[in-house]
Structure 1
Amino acid sequence: MILRKHQEKLEQALDTQAGVVLLGPRQVGKTTLAQDIAEQRGAVYLDLERNADRQILEEPDLYLDERMGQLVVIDEVQLMPGLFGTLRGQIDRRRRAGHRTGQFLLLGSASNTLLQQSAESLAGRVSYHELTPFILDEVGQGALQALWLRGGFPESFLAGSEHASLTWREDFIRTYLERDIPSFGLRIPAETLRRFWTMLAHEQGGLLNAARIAAGLGVSGQSVARYLDLLVDLMLVRRLPPWHANAGKRLVKSPKVYIRDAGLAHALLGLETEEALLGHPVVGGSWEGFCIENLIAAAPRGTEASFYRSSAGAEIDLILKLPSGALWAIEIKRTTAPKVTRGFHIAADELDVAERLLVYADAREVPGQGGLRAVPLSGAIDRLQTI
């Protein structure tokens, strides 16, 4: 059993808020984590994918009034959007009765859909948290290669063999395409969406070129934007925006796009073993995306992530704007040589960053020129978690 770092944050949120919304893709471990919390707190657990539990909430106030003061966990809450108005009234009534914290834990698999549904009804009444697949800090430095190859979905990471792990991920992708996405009422051909998803995997970490992708798929640019919005909403793809504060500079305006879980990217490309990955052209982009996901997950809540690239060639792979306003410039290279390009320092000077890091493939921390410090991924995670 791997202890999720997020459990402590959720426990703290429930101790201070009436409701907590936990977002994350399917099969990432939300239900397991919520059931652990429910067991400790004597809570009731409802899964809205089960008809019996949906029927329980056909008259939600009748049921929830009987659970006044008790934590209620509702899984896949986005399947009953009309429930949010009821939850608002329930939270307000419970507050008046003296039950101001730890009343509802809501789990959802589609971020924007759920946020839009709940934002107006539950504004100021809930806090939002995202559960990611396993990150390096949870599984340990010794499992870095396995985590990168297999990804962080628990069933994939803990599989008994590389083949079993790849098979699970292929089934996961098929299930999303054939069952989960149609359940949102979206009429997108599964084969077209798979081709789009695979094209993004081939371009892992590249600038989005919607026109080229549209031509390759034989669809319109608007369709490509809709497909991308969907995969971002399902928390399967990250759209990393460009830094935009320097209005006087000619900066790249297209976002970078990453398959968020490296294991899913490898499954889309049919890469089963580490040898196959290391021999594939996507290896650099895969490593960059893997590091970015770990770093963003480790950063303090409220951190904003972007990248920087100017027309003159100055570039930074990842900029983290911390809640304090300080900027961290992070370069990511799968190399043992602790060196960055001159363009990195030019960009860092332009932005007046507080910290310059190179995340590289060696295990040592070494100082570099211009205030740069080369660190392994685990070292960068440690630094972010101690802010």
Structure 2
Amino acid sequence: MKNAYIKRILESKIKEYASSFSVVSLTGPRQSGKTTLLKHLFGRDYSYASLDDLGTRDMAVNDPKMFLETWKPPLIIDEAQYSPGLFSQIKIKVDDKPRQKGMYLITGSQQFLLMKNFTETLAGRIGILSLPPLSLDELSAFTGLSDTLDLFEQACLKGSFPQLHIEKTARVYGWYEGYLQTYIERDVKTLYNIGNLLSFSSFVKILASRCGQVLNMSALSSDIGVAVSTIKSWISILEASGIIYLLYPYHANIRTRLAKSPKAYFMDTGLVCHLNNITTKKQLFASPLLGFLFENYCIMEVVKNCKNRGERERIFFFRTSKGVEVDLVVEGRAGYALIEIKSGMRIDSSITDSIKAAMRLNKNFAKARGYVLTFGKETLAAGETIEFISPRNLLSRLRQSS
């Protein structure tokens, strides 16, 4: 199975961008399948250079002009964040042949570092996409699983990174330990020069134990024994690496929205389980974290749904000072969707109370659709505007209304 390939939803969008832009960037967390995807689509016609290779990186960093003379387009450049000086030279090459599309396909697992270089040197010349780990639709197509519980269990206990599913003999615990070690050594230590790696590792584990909760920087600072400014920096690093996703509270005023504390979720629910030592089905469904894990899973599937279509996520959580809270608010062209997430199969009209309250309290939600995500298979109406629904059916609804 090592040579197997998992078909990715983003394939058609990448092809479209490669025929429209001189440069295409594909970001995403390490091991999400960026290199495999580009090689699968373009490997026959493109050369390939990885800056994970120290010799190749040395040339790209110290003599980027010589690097691009050696590696001629069309070219895939892997982990390009290691050589910021490369981008100005790419700009020169691209400007010399403005009508040639798809000259350079660039990957990177540090999206903020790449974005900084893109905006400074390649604005208007580059198309930017992000490849998340496997979505439930991709995982379902590859494994044949279709039941919500089965797909959730698979995402928790085996994760959503392609290699864990392609290599049937892969040991999940050992793979995640290696993943974390590689991430900390290659990215955190090399790119950000963090001195206390032990404290950083402890921070990641504590954050995983509080998955889906509003970030309390002061509490994290006190628990780990580092400054609040350090916690903020570490949060930014994890977000830049595609390890975590920050979900901000809904507010009509964007400035107010960004000033409020976000919730932190992990892009891969399997990593959260690994960091919390959840390795069996029995542990998973008996865990006090089960509700947060299902919430993490569902919200990240909505995020993946957006990224796989090349769209910006317009999602939030809703909370009032009086305690009314809705897990997820999705803003689409057809209006808002208010979503509650419950790890069970119980159908109870009281579960919809928070959605109804939000509809009454916020005029923007007056005509919203309401959904309650559960482990159930059937879609059941709970009034004219609210439904109990599975994650997979919800994603289909969101695609239709976007």
TM-score (norm 1): 0.91
Residue type of the partner of 1:94?
A: K
1:372 alignment partner in structure 2: 386
1:309 alignment partner in structure 2: 319
Post-superposition offset of 1:243? 0.9
Given the alignment, which residue of 20, 24, 42 partners 1:38?
42
Extract unaligned runs of 5+ from structure 2: 141-145
2:226 alignment partner in structure 1: 219
Given the alignment, which residue of 370, 373, 377 partners 1:356?
370
1:258 alignment partner in structure 2: 265
CA distance in 2, matches of 1:43, 1:134: 25
2:244 alignment partner in structure 1: 237
Q: Does 1:112 align with 2:116?
A: no
Post-superposition offset of 1:327? 2.0
Residue type of the partner of 1:132?
A: P
Q: Does 1:74 align with 2:77?
A: yes
Tell me: CA distance 1:32–1:213, structure 2 relative to 1, closer, same or farther (3 Å).
same
Q: Deviations over 1:183-233 (max 9, x none)?
A: 114224221111111111111101111111111111111111111111111
Tell me: CA distance 1:328–1:257, structure 2 relative to 1, closer, same or farther (3 Å).
same
CA distance in 2, matches of 1:269, 1:275: 14
Residue type of the partner of 2:337?
A: W
1:2 alignment partner in structure 2: 6
5 Å matches for 1:45-56? Answer: 45-54=48-57
Given the alignment, which residue of 334, 345, 365 partners 2:343?
334
CA distance in 1, matches of 2:385, 2:203: 41
Given the alignment, which residue of 191, 199, 214 partners 1:207?
214
Given the alignment, which residue of 280, 286, 290 partners 2:287?
280
Given the alignment, which residue of 170, 173, 176 partners 1:169?
176
2:154 alignment partner in structure 1: 146
The number of residue pairs the alignment matches comes to: 379
Q: Are 1:146 and 1:157, in contact at CA under 8 Å, matched by a contact in 2?
A: no
Post-superposition offset of 1:263? 0.6
Q: Deviations over 1:288-328 (max 9, x none)?
A: 01111111211351231211100112211111223x37322
Q: Does 1:18 align with 2:22?
A: yes
1:267 alignment partner in structure 2: 274
Post-superposition offset of 1:10? 0.6
1:92 alignment partner in structure 2: 95
Q: Are 2:381 and 2:387, in contact at CA under 8 Å, matched by a contact in 1?
A: yes
Post-superposition offset of 1:114? 1.1
3-state DSSP of counterpart to 1:106: strand
CA distance in 1, matches of 2:354, 2:21: 45
Of 116-125 and 336-345, more deviation after overlay is shown by 336-345
3-state DSSP of counterpart to 1:369: coil
1:187 alignment partner in structure 2: 194
3-state DSSP of counterpart to 2:279: coil
Of 365-374 and 349-358, more deviation after overlay is shown by 349-358
Q: Are 2:27 and 2:131, in contact at CA under 8 Å, matched by a contact in 1?
A: yes
Q: Deviations over 1:339-381 (max 9, x none)?
A: 4242221213413253222211101111112510221111112
Residue type of the partner of 2:356?
A: H
Identity %, equivalent residues: 27
3-state DSSP of counterpart to 1:16: coil
1:347 alignment partner in structure 2: 358
CA distance in 2, matches of 1:331, 1:338: 13
CA distance in 2, matches of 1:326, 1:206: 26
Post-superposition offset of 1:66? 8.1
Residue type of the partner of 1:381?
A: L
Q: Does 1:384 align with 2:398?
A: yes
Of 175-184 and 9-18, more deviation after overlay is shown by 175-184
CA distance in 1, matches of 2:258, 2:315: 16
TM-score (norm 2): 0.88
CA distance in 2, matches of 1:56, 1:82: 11
